[in-house]
A = this chain, B = another copy of it.
Amino acid sequence: MATLNTWRLALDIKQWVVTAAEAVKLHLHDDLKVNTKSGRNDLVTNIDKTTEQYLVQKIRAQYPEAKIVGEEGFGDQVEDLTGLVFFVDPIDGTMNFVKARENFAIMIGAYLDGKGIVGVILDVMKDELFWGGPEFGVYKNNLPLPKPKNITLSEGLLGMSGPLLVHDVKHVAAAVTASSGARIFGSAGIEFTKVIQGFENGYVSKLMPWDFAAGKVMAETLGLKVTDIDGEPLSMLSSKIVLIGTERTHAQILALQ
């Protein structure tokens, strides 16, 4: 993998994601086959599955040595992060997709020996493609995104997970009260796009690696902090309560723990 061209990799991922989105949009008003996974509000549809199958097939064809962590199980059983690893979330915000056909994202994060190199999040219905990495900076479609201002908790909107706020896990209610207000969009990918644009100063949610892999690459490239809620580094192989924020907001929310 010493010869990996990350610019080519970024272009490949963008093409796959945009092509996958075109297929999703073609079937947008079909009847969905909806099933539950871990609970009644953890959904998967036939579209999640076919989208992941498509993305996995493209990755395997172009990068046959890579490993794939996919939400819907069409990837590999990945137990270590050596080499090139793709994290695939075919439809992030499946509940929004099912109920509202908006505010869902297709996401791929590519990591080399555990280090994020490319992140891509497509807000499908807004046609907004967020992509980037430490070598390129971060872009919204074709325009570079500036680094968000290092605002404090009180100066911005705080993206939240509904369940964490309802049960006030990890003092998130106090964080919301100190902020300019909570927002709940119901998709980690969509929330990452808000934070990297500076629309929110932070976001807290319990996430799986495919939920945060792409966003983490872009957020860190823009100088944002991404850790677990206790300030520890995230594992790319397990679920954590994730805290993303400007440096100041991140520190203020950590201080509540």
- Residues of A that sit less than 8 Å from B by CB: 40-41, 95-96, 99-102, 154, 156-157, 160, 162-163, 165-166, 173, 176-177, 180-186, 194, 197, 199-200
What chain B residues lie within 8 Å of A101 (beta carbons)?
199
Min CB gap A192→B, angstroms: 14
Closest to A201 in B: B99
- Docked Cα-Cα span, A182 to B96, in Å, equals 11
Partner of A186, one of B102, B166, B183, B186: B183
Q: A102-B199, A199-B99 are in contact. Are A186 and B173 (CB under 8 A)?
A: no
Chain B residues with CB under 8 Å of A197's CB are: 100
Q: Give Cα A32 to B37, complex, Å.
A: 46
Q: Is the interface of A mostly helix, strand, loop or mixed?
A: mixed
* Contacts A173-B166, A176-B166; A156 near B194 (Cβ below 8 A): no
The residue in chain B whose Cβ has the minimal distance to the Cβ of A163 is B181
- CB A12 to nearest CB in B, in angstroms, measures 30
Starting from the known contacts A99-B200, A162-B183, 17 additional A-B residue pairs (CB-CB under 8 Å) come to: A40-B154, A95-B157, A96-B157, A99-B156, A99-B157, A100-B157, A100-B197, A100-B199, A157-B186, A160-B184, A162-B176, A162-B182, A166-B176, A166-B177, A181-B186, A183-B186, A185-B185
Residues of B close to A41: CB separation below 8 A: 180-181
Q: List 22 A-B contacts (CB under 8 A).
A: A41-B180, A95-B180, A96-B157, A99-B157, A99-B180, A99-B199, A100-B157, A100-B194, A100-B199, A100-B200, A101-B199, A102-B199, A157-B186, A160-B184, A162-B183, A166-B173, A166-B176, A166-B177, A166-B182, A181-B184, A183-B186, A185-B185
| Those 7 A-B pairs whose CB atoms lie nearest each other, nearest first | A100-B199, A162-B182, A184-B184, A162-B181, A166-B173, A183-B184, A99-B157
Residue on B nearest A165 in the bound complex, by CB: B165
Q: Which of A41, A160, A173, A183 has the most CB of B within 10 A?
A: A183
